[in-house]
Amino acid sequence: MSVSSPPARRQGFRRAIIPLTVAVGFMMEQLDGTIITTALPRMARDFQVSPVTLNIGVTAYLLSVALFIPVSGWIADRLGMRRTYICALAAFTVGSGLCGLATGIVGFGAMRVLQGMGGAMMTPVGRLILLRSFDKSELVTAMTYMTVPVVIGPMAGPALGGLLTQYLSWHWIFYVNVPVGIAGILLTWARVEEFRPRGVPPFDWGGFCACGVALVIIQAGVEILGMHESMAGASMLVIGIVALTLFVRTRQSHPYPPIDLSLFRIRSFRFGVICGGINRIGLNSIGFLLPLLLQLGFGFSPSHSGLLTFTGSLGTVIIRPLAGRLLRRFGFGRLLAVNSVIAAGLILPLTLLVPQTPSYVIVGLVVSLGIARGLQFTTLNTLIFSDMPAARLSRSTSLSGMAQQLSMGFGVSFSAVLLQFVAGPGVLPSAHVFRVVLCCVSLVTLLAGPAFLLLRPEDGADVSGFGSSTD
Task: Please tell me the distance from the alpha carbon of residue 213 to that of residue 202, in angstroms, as a whole number.
Answer: 21
Q: Where are the alpha helices (DSSP H) in 227-358?
A: 230-251, 267-283, 286-292, 302-310, 312-347
Q: Which CATH number fits domain 9-203+258-464: 3.30.870.10, 1.20.1250.20, 1.10.3720.10, 3.10.50.40?
A: 1.20.1250.20
Question: Would you write out the chain's pLDDT as a tens digit for each of its 471 residues?
Answer: 333 343 444 455 455 567 667 777 777 776 776 677 777 777 877 887 777 677 777 777 777 777 787 777 778 778 887 888 888 888 888 888 888 888 777 788 888 888 888 887 777 787 777 777 666 666 566 666 666 666 566 566 677 777 788 788 888 888 888 888 888 888 888 777 777 767 677 777 777 777 777 877 777 777 666 665 666 667 777 877 787 777 777 666 666 677 777 788 888 888 988 888 898 888 888 878 888 888 888 888 877 887 887 777 777 778 777 877 888 888 888 889 999 999 999 999 999 988 888 988 998 998 899 889 888 888 888 888 877 787 777 677 778 877 887 887 788 878 888 887 787 766 777 888 899 999 999 999 999 888 888 888 777 666 655 555 443
Task: Please tell me the distance from the alpha carbon of residue 326 to that of residue 312, in angstroms, as a whole number.
Answer: 20
Domain ranges of the chain: 9-203+258-464, 204-257
Contact 255, 201 (CB under 8 A): yes
Alpha-carbon separation of residue 454 from 229, 331, 412 (angstroms) = 39, 12, 28
222-228 long-range contacts (CB < 8 A, ≥24 apart) are: 222/410, 222/413, 222/414, 222/417, 223/56, 223/59, 223/413, 223/417, 225/417, 225/421, 226/52, 226/413, 226/416, 226/417, 226/419, 226/420, 226/421, 227/420, 227/425, 228/420, 228/421, 228/425
Residue closest to 383 by CA, chosen among 314, 345, 343, 337:
337
Q: Where are the alpha helices (DSSP H) in 35-176?
A: 40-47, 56-79, 81-100, 105-133, 139-167, 172-175
Phi, psi of 383 (to 5 degrees): -60, -45
Residue closest to 388 by CA, chosen among 152, 150, 143, 169:
143
The HSE-up count of residue 119 (CA atoms within 13 Å, CB side) is 30
